[in-house]
Amino acid sequence: MNSTDNPSSDIGELPQGRPLQTEFTDGLDYPRLGTVSFRRGTLTDNQQAMWDEKFPHMGKVLADEVIDVDEWFGRSGHPTIVEIGSGTGTSTAAMAPLEADTNVIAVELYKPGLAKLMGAVVRGGIDNVRMVRGDGIEVLARMIAPNSLDGVRVFFPDPWPKARHNKRRIIQSGPLRLIATRLKPGGVLHVATDHADYAEWIDELVEVEPLLEYKGWPWAEAPLLTDRQVITKFEGKGLDKDHVIREYLWRRTEAPNP
């Protein structure tokens, strides 16, 4: 039996209507959600039962609420990483046990993807992962305090390959500024893509944000884990097609926020 046979739970559901969308006034380029529709997907009964039980502790829905990381993770003084677009959580669940001292916040819109991550985390007894359901830009803008993160990860973001859709890409001047302001000085931004055109796009932007010092790849002295250890679902598809994986690392500079 599928969960669609039962009344759906409101736990972890996005509110109806137009999603929260910040109006940035810094003159930089930001992706806009516009009329893009997101896959809803359904959960199995077992997934739904786990979701209803675990999400109130492990998850949050996008809101105008700055996250108290210490309270949420039940510990203080630990480094914190936000992963934008965690997908089904393959790399998230694989990397988290290797950095148990780090708080990992996975951000994703697609509920079944978060449910799969939740299942992996619960089965693996992994206690340093939390999740936010919502658009990554809005989560950073509304829920993450400035100068609070040790790292941001953007692994295999949607390449929006059609030229008319390029402006929906998350790697643009605006998100790079936003990410930089959320990182602590010395914090690391790690981006990976297997889409050649997107890599060319990123190549043009590596020096665009003055608060981010481009370190290239690899960077042996990176202060956080940059070896993704396992391939993600989308990376595996890319390798099957003989795509080249491009990785990028930036370090947040010591300069004050503008």
**Annotated binding-site ranges for S-adenosyl-L-methionine:** 83, 108, 135, 158
Q: Round to whole Å and give the CA distance between 217 and 215.
A: 7
Out of 158, 197, 203, 242, pick the active-site residue. 158
- Our answer to whether residue 68 is catalytic in this structure is no
Q: How far is CA 139 from CA 80, 105, 170, 207, in A?
A: 15, 11, 13, 24
Cis before 218? omega within 30? yes
Give the residue ranges of the annotated binding site for substrate: 162, 194, 232-235
User: What one-character-per-residue DSSP string does 101-115 give?
Assistant: TSEEEEEES-HHHHH
| Tokens matching residue 61 | 């829905």
Structural contact between residues 117 and 51, judged by C-beta atoms closer than 8 angstroms: no
Q: How, if at all, do strands 149-155 and 129-133 pair?
A: unpaired
CA angle 250-253-258, nearest 5°?
A: 115
Residues recognised as catalytic? 158
